[in-house]
Structure 1
Amino acid sequence: MKPDAAYNPDPHAHPGLHAVAVVEAVKGTLAILAATGLEILGPAPLQHAIELLIARFQLGPAHGAMAWLASAINPGSLHLAAAAVLFYGIVHLVEAWGLWRAKAWASWLGCLTAAAYLPFDVYALFRHRGWLSLVIVAINLLVVWVLARDLLKRRR
């Protein structure tokens, strides 16, 4: 497909893509740091933190979601969680690189993943009304709009 003369492939001509790329790079970096932290800390500090939460909020230590979580934390599950978070971080860093370079595949990836979060964000907005939920929905809508606009410009 021949690119249209009206679409400027120069990534510097698309500051919205750069803004989204920075957000994605930050998310990716934080996820990789979290995965690294999970591997370095191991299961013992996490189990201790959950036990402190159970005591602090006077939850039943033998039943409930927090008790299940404390019992589910083991080296195998921790490695699996760290691998999933690492994969998430790498995907976001690759997406950030692609958006910074104004790659069409990165706009597709970002638009689809951001749109996939929207139903959960809207649900959270109605379930937990507040300015933070509203800001999250607004940012996600803005990201979808910027990336969809980029894709539409490429198509013309």
Structure 2
Amino acid sequence: MKHSDGGVRAVAVLEATKGLLALLVAIGLHVYTGQNLSALALELVRHLHLNPASHYPGIFISAVGSVSQSSLTLMAFGAAVYTSVRFIEAYGLWHNMRWTQWFALLSGAIYLPFELYEMIRHFSMLSVIVLLINLVVVMYMYFVLFPRRAVI
């Protein structure tokens, strides 16, 4: 095992975790396909002891009710595809496959400008943490792919 294998495996675990979360979203979306989403949103608002006629709960109920069944199915399919990509990446990283190291570097780097924009636009600790984790992964994968040569 090379010195970088532990770090690469940590990135693999992170990617597998993202895949697992996406799988839960895909299953959740699939479960609610075909159901009356407005009624479910209203039930959730009442369960949380909120007034459905007040401003924000009303916006939530309206937004959930406007999601079409075909959109819900498409979102579930997209989440399933994302899950597959993350699991394949995690498997490849765990087994130290070079192409998945490149994939991790490039796919992480693509998100950095969007995460930076989101952090600036809607500053929160969550946006800072997401940006920092992704930045660490991208930098680490860069150093795995381009190790410094020892100068003699």
TM-score normalised by structure 1 residue count: 0.76
Contact 1:11–1:102 (8 Å) recurs in 2: no
CA deviation profile, 1:60-102 (whole Å, cap 9, x unmatched): 96xx79735522321x222211110000001000000011111
| Residues in 2 aligned to 1:115 and 1:40: alpha-carbon distance in whole angstroms | 33
CA deviation profile, 1:76-131 (whole Å, cap 9, x unmatched): 22221111000000100000001111111111111111111111111111122233
Contact 2:30–2:72 (8 Å) recurs in 1: yes
Gaps (5+ residues) in structure 2? 46-50
Aligned mate of 2:131, from 137, 142, 146: 137
Give the equivalent residue in structure 2 for 1:67.
62
| Residues in 2 aligned to 1:113 and 1:17: alpha-carbon distance in whole angstroms | 15
Q: Which moved more, 1:41-50 or 1:95-104?
A: 41-50
Q: 1:155 to 1:71 in 2, by over 3 A?
A: farther
Aligned-pair identity (%) = 36
- Which amino acid counterpart does residue 67 of structure 1 have in structure 2? S
Q: 1:73 to 1:150 in 2, by over 3 A?
A: same
Larger RCO (CA under 8 A, 6+ residues apart): 1
TM-score normalised by structure 2 residue count: 0.78
Aligned mate of 1:32, from 20, 23, 37: 23
RMSD of aligned C-alpha atoms?
A: 3.0
Q: 1:118 to 1:90 in 2, by over 3 A?
A: same
- Which amino acid counterpart does residue 141 of structure 2 have in structure 1? L
| Residues in 1 aligned to 2:64 and 2:24: alpha-carbon distance in whole angstroms | 22
Q: 1:60 to 1:39 in 2, by over 3 A?
A: closer
Contact 2:41–2:60 (8 Å) recurs in 1: no
Q: 1:40 to 1:124 in 2, by over 3 A?
A: same
| Residues in 2 aligned to 1:37 and 1:68: alpha-carbon distance in whole angstroms | 17
1:19 aligned onto 2:10:
yes
Contact 2:101–2:145 (8 Å) recurs in 1: yes
Give the equivalent residue in structure 2 for 1:58.
55
